[in-house]
Amino acid sequence: MTDDAAGFPAESAQARRVGKDERLFTLVQCLLASEQHLTARRIRETVAGYGGDDDEPDDAVKRKFERDKNVLRDMGIPIETVRDPNTGEEGYRIDRAAYELAPIELTTDEAVVVMVAAQVWRQGKLAGPAAGALMKLRASGAPVVEDAGLDTLIETAEPAFDAVWRACRDARPIAFTYQKRDGARAVRRELEPWGMVCRNGLWYVAGHDRDRDAVRVFRLSRVVGAVEPCGEPGTVVAPADIDVRALVGDWGGGGSKPRMAELLIREGRANGLRRYARGVEPEPERPGWDRVELNLFGTESLAGTVASFGADVIVADPPDLRDAVIRRLKGVLA
Amino acid sequence: MTGGPNVGRFARLLALVPYLRARGSAQVDEVAREFGVSQRQLMKDLDLLACTELLRPWPTCPIDLSYEDGEVVVLDSGATDRPLRLTSDEAAALLVAVRMLREMPGVTDGDTVAGVQEKLERAAGDAAAAMRGRFEVAVAARPAVAERITDALERDRRVHLRYYVPHRDEITERDVDPIRVRYADGHGYLEGFCRRSEEVRRFRFDRIVRITVLDDVAREVPETAAEPERDLFRPLPDAVPVTIEVTAAGRWVAEDYPYGTTTELPGGGLRVELNAPDPRWVRQLALRLGEAGRVVAPAGLADDVTAEASRALANYDAV
């Protein structure tokens, strides 16, 4: 290949075939370096890979440029757009202050923590963002440290995880089909999601349930099928004082003040109940048995545990707990 | 390690220049390893960066690199002195995990983690501020238990545990030489050499009834001691195969014990086949389920469950 009339050297970007990564990288350099907003025409003259002057038809170049802008925006690169009031033409640039990661200096110990934090997602759906963040911090000068080898993991196995995460991130309402724990028919729900909490390795989403017009918590593993947006991003507004974590913690019966239950337990048995005992005394009327007091948070939940110990536990009080246990035991025989 | 397959080439190109800039110079093999790519790929990346050209107002190469004899030096980093700011996902992924680590005593130093959180929040700016409070990982850390374990680990002390073993319904007493704390599925575990079983065992925090730090110095763990099974939740080798059928109201069994195979039954029920750690565990489960489930196999165990329910009901007639 020989030098062309404009004086470009043979290896010039104009003379080579320019790949997508190179075109995007050059575009970023071009938009970051410029003080002024650049028109699309100027950009295609400056950045090789848009077909230079005449190689490609105008609308093909335009589409390519539109696609590239979207790729950059999806990566979080802030492209400013202004319209020239006289010509009506759009101009583009990237503000360096908005592009650049703010200064951050990490000690070696702190870099280890960041490494551990990135690794807890290593098998999950956020492995990509975590790795991307780690790379940027290192590009900012953070020391590179060895694998800390910590055996700690956040699981994100629920199929609904991605869509619900995006909805919480973008403050966007969603609709999904939900199967309740008791096996009732799956029902479609519309939710304004406020946030997600992982508890005991399971993910929950809390927010405003539009159908019930109330605050509700949903377990992601019980979402059936696809999660669809049903509103625009940025339209969900969580109450200022909302504590999503507390909502998920309260869900399922905790939170309220417990009642007291009195049980008779055979000596040395039902240790799964005894370990929560508030008080244990030998029962004078039944030799070989103890009278055990413990907190009663949820009748059905405690009735299940009491029933599971069979003939080793008898409920003395309260009567509703006693009835719930008897109902379960009769159910076994049914 | 940094990213490899998880980070695209374009994102890597944007990070490479500031990375090299921050370090002055670096070795090709080292950079390739840290970005999780082959040296060949890294050389291609460096070629691309060096060839980048802006054609107007006159042709210029914004990036000036030298990479000879295995050493890379950036002489001019063009307009990319600094890496791109963090996206919302990137900021949230790190901050959620860092906040979780703060709740995990015994894993990392608390003050260091707090410092990291503060620095990340500041560096991530709006991306972090907007996500605040939206994503959380709660850990059943039991601070009082974890504190004593941390103390024992720091001072190299043996601990005494009162520990509940659910499938045998036993409260056991044992001395343990702590090795480390681990977290999995939202639960904290003490891993240590159990002096009773002469094995390395894991003890789940919420099953520790009481923990006492002893004055005895923890002994070195014998080299021959086996690592505990990596998968904490795999059934034991001597497990019993069981078949249970549950109604719609008992579907939680499959959710709480996701180790078996399930088959849908008409009317919303499920057949669950699993390996139970102990027959007593199955009996407890069946009694808890009541009319929402029954043991199908083994038949002897099914009879055992109904006999126990009858005895329990007889208790109430007598009281």
Q: What is the pLDDT of residues B85-101, one digit of tens each?
A: 999 999 999 999 998 88
- Three-class secondary structure of residue A146 per DSSP: coil
Q: Report the DSSP pairing between strands B135-138 and A187-199.
A: parallel
Compute the mean pLDDT over every residue in chain B, rounded to the nearest whole number: 86
Chain B's closest residue to A96, CA to CA, is B79
Please indicate whether, in this complex, the C-beta atoms of B288 and A21 are within 8 angstroms of each other.
no
Cα B4-B9-B13 angle, rounded to 5 deg: 110
Residue B3: its pLDDT value, please?
42
Question: B283 touching A, CB under 8 A?
Answer: yes
Please indicate whether, in this complex, the C-beta atoms of B53 and A26 are within 8 angstroms of each other.
yes
Take residue B318 and report the two structure tokens written for it. Answer: 């007598």
Please, what sign has the CA dihedral across residues B250, B255, B256, B259? positive
Tens digits of residue pLDDT in B246-265: 988 888 888 777 677 888 88
What is the rounded average pLDDT of the residues B116-122? 94
Take residue B188 and report the two structure tokens written for it. Answer: 């904290």
Residue B154 identity: E
User: Is residue B2 over pLDDT 80?
Assistant: no
Q: What does each C-alpha distance from A216 to A98, A190, B186 come to in angstroms?
A: 37, 11, 22
Distance CA A110, CA B219 (A): 31
Residue B221: its pLDDT value, please?
72
User: Is residue B319 over pLDDT 80?
Assistant: no
Distance CA A117, CA B95 (A): 8
Which residues from B are below 8 Å from A196, CB to CB?
A: 134-136
Tens digits of residue pLDDT in A228-284: 999 999 999 999 888 888 888 755 444 467 889 999 999 999 999 999 888 899 999
User: Is residue B139 over pLDDT 80?
Assistant: no
Which of B56, B62, B308 is facing A311, going by the closest CB pair? B308
- Three-class secondary structure of residue A101 per DSSP: coil
Chain A's closest residue to B171, CA to CA, is A271
Cis-peptide into B222, omega within 30 deg: no
Tens digits of residue pLDDT in A282-326: 999 999 999 999 998 888 889 999 999 999 999 999 999 999 999
Distance CA A193, CA A179 (A): 18
- C-beta of residue A286 within 8 angstroms of C-beta of residue A314: no
Q: Which residue reads 């409920």 in tokens?
A: A315
Instruction: Give which of B213, B205, B215 is closest to B105, Cα–Cα.
Output: B205
Please indicate whether, in this complex, the C-beta atoms of A26 and B292 are within 8 angstroms of each other.
no
Residue B71: its pLDDT value, please?
93
Instruction: Give which of B91, B164, B166 is closest to B134, Cα–Cα.
Output: B91
Judged by average pLDDT, the poorest of A170-179, B10-19, B27-36, B143-152 is B143-152
Instruction: Give which of A323, A282, A278, A265 is closest to A299, Cα–Cα.
Output: A323
The alpha carbons of chain A give a radius of gyration, in whole angstroms, of: 31
Which residues from B are below 8 Å from A322, CB to CB?
A: 316
- C-beta of residue A6 within 8 angstroms of C-beta of residue A27: no
Element (DSSP H or E) covering residue A43 = helix A40-46
- C-beta of residue A119 within 8 angstroms of C-beta of residue A148: yes
Q: Which residues contact B41 (CB under 8 A, 6 or more apart)?
A: B32
Please indicate whether, in this complex, the C-beta atoms of A26 and B315 are within 8 angstroms of each other.
no
- Three-class secondary structure of residue A63 per DSSP: helix
Q: What is the DSSP string of chain B?
A: ---GGGS-HHHHHHHHHHHHHHHSEEEHHHHHHHTT--HHHHHHHHHHHHH--B-SSS-B-SEEEEEETTEEEEEEETT-SSPBPPPHHHHHHHHHHHHHHHT-TTTS-HHHHHHHHHHHHHHHTHHHHHHTTTEEEE-B--HHHHHHHHHHHHHTEEEEEEEEEGGGTEEEEEEEEEEEEEEETTEEEEEEEETTTTEEEEEEGGGEEEEEEEEEEPPPPPTTPPPPPSSTTSPPTTPEEEEEEE-GGGTHHHHH-TTSEEEE-GGG-EEEEEEES-HHHHHHHHHHHGGGEEEEESHHHHHHHHHHHHHHHHHHHH-
Distance CA B173, CA B160 (A): 7
ipTM field: 0.81
Instruction: Give which of B50, B18, B56, B15 is closest to B36, Cα–Cα.
Output: B15
Which residues from B are below 8 Å from A12, CB to CB?
A: 53, 59
Question: B136 touching A, CB under 8 A?
Answer: yes
Question: B23 touching A, CB under 8 A?
Answer: yes
Instruction: Give which of B217, B269, B226, B277 is closest to B245, Cα–Cα.
Output: B269
Q: Which of residues 166-205 of B touch A (CB under 8 A)?
A: 166, 169-171, 182-187
Please indicate whether, in this complex, the C-beta atoms of A183 and B315 are within 8 angstroms of each other.
no
Q: Report the DSSP pairing between strands A174-178 and A90-94.
A: unpaired
Please, what sign has the CA dihedral across residues B198, B202, B204, B205? positive
Mutate to test the interface with A, among B35, B48, B53 (most CBs of A within 10 A): B53
Distance CA A27, CA A30 (A): 5
Tens digits of residue pLDDT in B184-219: 767 788 889 998 888 888 898 889 999 999 998 888
pLDDT in tens, chain A (334 residues): 333 444 444 455 555 678 899 999 999 999 999 999 999 889 988 998 886 555 666 788 888 899 999 999 999 999 999 998 888 889 999 999 999 999 999 999 999 899 989 988 877 889 999 999 999 999 999 998 876 666 677 888 888 999 999 999 999 999 999 987 666 678 899 999 999 998 877 899 999 999 999 999 999 988 988 999 999 999 999 998 888 888 887 554 444 678 899 999 999 999 999 998 888 999 999 999 999 999 988 888 899 999 999 999 999 999 999 999 999 999 999 8
- C-beta of residue B244 within 8 angstroms of C-beta of residue B253: yes
Q: Which residues contact B73 (CB under 8 A, 6 or more apart)?
A: B20, B24, B25, B65, B66, B67
Please, what sign has the CA dihedral across residues A310, A311, A315, A320? positive
Distance CA A112, CA A146 (A): 8
Q: Please, which pLDDT band fits residue B237 given cuts at 50, 70 and 90?
A: low
Q: Which residue reads 């999904």 in tokens?
A: A176
User: Is residue B236 over pLDDT 70?
Assistant: no
